[in-house]
A and B are shown apart, each in its own frame.
Chain A
Amino acid sequence: MSATRAEICVVACAEAWRGDGEILAAAMGTCSILGARLARLTFEPGLLTTDGGALLTAGPVPIGAPAGPAEGWLPFRDHLWLVQNGRRHVMMGASQIDRYGNTNISAIGEWARPASQLLGVRGAPGNTICNPTSYWIPRHSPRVFVPKADTVSGVGRDRAAGLGAHASRFHDLRRVVTDLGVLDFGTPDGSMRLVSVHPGVEVEQVLAATGFDLVIDGEVPQTRTPTDEELRLIREVLDPKALRDREVRA
């Protein structure tokens, strides 16, 4: 079976939680939510996932479906305590992300009087300083991948390093998945590196869609393609209405 770009993104998101064990996979955005549930259904069965609300579901439910049986209760107050506790790997969105992984979901332009007011920092400051954090960005463009985030909601590698070993000991930026490829911060100075490009994407395309210099370590491999079983689970079980295609066009 041949996979669509959205399906490749779902699997690339799922891979973010590989090896995490029995922790909460907190996901935002369609492909990210599907990725968390796919990981739980396949290679990371210990993961906990929610119905998008206060319930930890007994199984990984289809997106948009009723929660079904719950195995736990996680209202917002306990979710915020869990951030402090640490047994959680969150994959957030970002309106801006810079080369060190500082992200902005708060305000574009001057914070005091923004050109565009966005959501607000939400839980991004706490998430990034307390939990492993990844990002899912459905449209890789120079508008999102900027030299410097206007307002820093989520803390990047350079700022975490500046806090010292004590304050930053739980800071752990993992990966950035986009519609074009996968990136991480596995460089000596913590700047962003291209890990893989999705099938059909050229490295030059990613560079052109990024508003700063990306680190390229030699030959950039292709993102792995979904297995037949993964495709079946995505198409028939987790997302039969193909909501993923609304987030990432074929």
Chain B
Amino acid sequence: MSAAAGTATAGKVMSAEEIVASLESGMTLGIGGWGSRRKPMALVRAIYRSSLTDLTIVSYGGADVGLLCAAGKVRRVVAPFVTLDSVPLEPHFRAARQAGAIELTEYDEGMFMFGLLAAAHRLPFLPTRAGLGSDVMRVNPGLRTVRSPYGAEGEEGEELVAVPPLRLDAALIHMDRADTRGNGQYLGPDPYMDDLFAKAAARCYMSCERLVEPGALTGPPQTLLVSRMHVTGVVETPGGGHFTDCGPDLGRDEAFQRHYASAAADPQAWAEFADRFLSGDEAAYREAVRRWHEEEAR
């Protein structure tokens, strides 16, 4: 590691608590991953423990959205879905919606990606057919359409949805590997939209399964998904994606996810779950999960 590079990136390595302390109530936070896959859960748990509130969460949603809804941190969710994949419906999100406790901006999956792309490229909108004719247009009365300036002579141009940018105050993403300069690498089969979240955000914070020195990210260059030019802070959180899928290091902890989902569907069971798993820090969480698996194996 060269001295110059070290100086240029000094201070990027942070703790999860430092990252959360740099966030403010009322912010719009993007959360990477997809459903119950490679979610920055250690950072989400740190927010869960924080005093932050009134957040807008922009996410291809999973337990990240659910946990933050359960903790009363959320004013609005912006999402095309909230699911745990192998458990189709997220109980906390359902409960919050059915109680009218949160607002929702519901987009089509492709619209949502175009919103991230627009923000990442400083565009006022991107056009798409997705959304036309559906209730996405009804439940988001602020959405506008745009008419194509091109078309055959004497023919009206095609009308398309103008997806506005999903600008983020901060993005939270979880990578398989990262270096201390803030370069991020994914090793699974799907990058999801994590680089777009990073580029759509004023600040991006990245957790990783393992943190290495600069130059020590091995593997094909196309796995180097997130560039340090977009990253404000990086933190090593082994198991930080738990219980979501973090292949190839760690598959989804299906047994624990089922435990989460059944607890989340019942207030009494949830109180016990929260007390057991979420009342301490990340190390306490990992230890509590380890003990739970031990008990289950008996």
A-contact 0/1 string along B112-128, CB 8 Å cutoff? 01000000000000001
Q: Tell me the bound Cα distance from A112 to B97 in angstroms.
A: 8
Asked if A116 lies at the interface with its beta carbon under 8 angstroms from chain B, I say: yes
A-contact 0/1 string along B34-72, CB 8 Å cutoff? 100000000000000000000000001100000000000
Are A119 and B88 in contact, with the CB atoms below 8 A?
yes
Q: Which of B129-187 contact A (CB under 8 A)?
A: 129-136, 138-139, 156, 158-160
Asked if B266 lies at the interface with its beta carbon under 8 angstroms from chain A, I say: no
B-contact 0/1 string along A150-188, CB 8 Å cutoff? 011111000110110011101100000000000000000
Q: Tell me the bound Cα distance from A171 to B132 in angstroms.
A: 11
Asked if B211 lies at the interface with its beta carbon under 8 angstroms from chain A, I say: no
Q: Tell me the bound Cα distance from A1 to B135 in angstroms.
A: 46
Are B189 and A55 in contact, with the CB atoms below 8 A?
yes
Are A154 and B109 in contact, with the CB atoms below 8 A?
no
Are B133 and A162 in contact, with the CB atoms below 8 A?
yes
Asked if A250 lies at the interface with its beta carbon under 8 angstroms from chain B, I say: no
Asked if B191 lies at the interface with its beta carbon under 8 angstroms from chain A, I say: yes
- Interfacial chain A residues near B94, Cβ < 8 Å: 116-117
Partner of A129, one of B61, B89, B107, B133: B133
Residue of B nearest to A118 (CB): B89
Total A residues in contact with B, Cβ cutoff 8 Å: 45
Are B106 and A120 in contact, with the CB atoms below 8 A?
yes
A-contact 0/1 string along B81-98, CB 8 Å cutoff? 111000011000110011
Q: Tell me the bound Cα distance from A46 to B159 in angstroms.
A: 34
Smallest CB separation, A144 vs chain B (Å): 16
Are B98 and A126 in contact, with the CB atoms below 8 A?
no
Q: Tell me the bound Cα distance from A118 to B248 in angstroms.
A: 30
Partner of A163, one of B109, B132, B189, B190: B132
User: Range of interface residues on chain B?
Assistant: 35 or more
Q: Tell me the bound Cα distance from A64 to B168 in angstroms.
A: 37
Are B128 and A111 in contact, with the CB atoms below 8 A?
no
Smallest CB separation, A43 vs chain B (Å): 30
Are B110 and A126 in contact, with the CB atoms below 8 A?
yes
Are B129 and A170 in contact, with the CB atoms below 8 A?
yes
Scoring A116, A118, A154, A170 by chain B CB atoms within 10 A of each residue's CB, the highest score goes to A118
Q: Tell me the bound Cα distance from A112 to B104 in angstroms.
A: 8
Smallest CB separation, B105 vs chain A (Å): 11
- Interfacial chain A residues near B158, Cβ < 8 Å: 166-167
Interface stretch (choices A7-15, A77-85, A230-238): A77-85
Are A154 and B110 in contact, with the CB atoms below 8 A?
no
Partner of A121, one of B88, B106, B156: B106
Are A117 and B89 in contact, with the CB atoms below 8 A?
yes
Asked if A249 lies at the interface with its beta carbon under 8 angstroms from chain B, I say: no
> Knowing A77-B113, A117-B93 touch, does A167 contact B189 (C-beta < 8 A)?
no
Q: Tell me the bound Cα distance from A116 to B89 in angstroms.
A: 10
Are B129 and A121 in contact, with the CB atoms below 8 A?
no
B-contact 0/1 string along A82-93, CB 8 Å cutoff? 011000000000
Partner of B136, one of A55, A121, A130: A121
Are A75 and B190 in contact, with the CB atoms below 8 A?
yes
Identify whether the interface residues of B are mostly helix, strand, loop, or mixed: loop
Asked if B241 lies at the interface with its beta carbon under 8 angstroms from chain A, I say: no
Asked if B80 lies at the interface with its beta carbon under 8 angstroms from chain A, I say: yes
Q: Which of A98-154 contact B (CB under 8 A)?
A: 106-107, 111-126, 128-130, 151-154
Smallest CB separation, A114 vs chain B (Å): 6
Partner of A160, one of B61, B83, B133, B135: B133
Are B134 and A155 in contact, with the CB atoms below 8 A?
yes
Asked if B111 lies at the interface with its beta carbon under 8 angstroms from chain A, I say: yes
Are B80 and A122 in contact, with the CB atoms below 8 A?
yes
Are B130 and A130 in contact, with the CB atoms below 8 A?
yes
Are A153 and B82 in contact, with the CB atoms below 8 A?
no
Are A76 and B193 in contact, with the CB atoms below 8 A?
yes
- Interfacial chain B residues near A151, Cβ < 8 Å: 135, 139
Smallest CB separation, A103 vs chain B (Å): 10
Are A83 and B98 in contact, with the CB atoms below 8 A?
no
Q: Tell me the bound Cα distance from A118 to B82 in angstroms.
A: 9
Q: Tell me the bound Cα distance from A163 to B190 in angstroms.
A: 35
Q: Tell me the bound Cα distance from A106 to B83 in angstroms.
A: 12
- Interfacial chain B residues near A111, Cβ < 8 Å: 135, 138-139
Asked if B285 lies at the interface with its beta carbon under 8 angstroms from chain A, I say: no
Interface residues of A (CB under 8 A from B): 53-55, 73, 75-77, 80, 83-84, 106-107, 111-126, 128-130, 151-155, 159-160, 162-163, 166-168, 170-171
Cross-chain pairs A/B with CB under 8 angstroms, 14 sampled? A76-B193, A114-B98, A115-B98, A117-B89, A117-B93, A119-B88, A120-B79, A122-B108, A123-B110, A125-B111, A128-B133, A129-B132, A151-B139, A162-B133
Given A53-B190, A163-B133, A167-B132, 13 other A-B contacts at CB below 8 A?
Answer: A54-B190, A84-B110, A112-B139, A113-B97, A113-B99, A119-B83, A120-B79, A123-B109, A123-B110, A125-B132, A128-B133, A129-B129, A153-B135
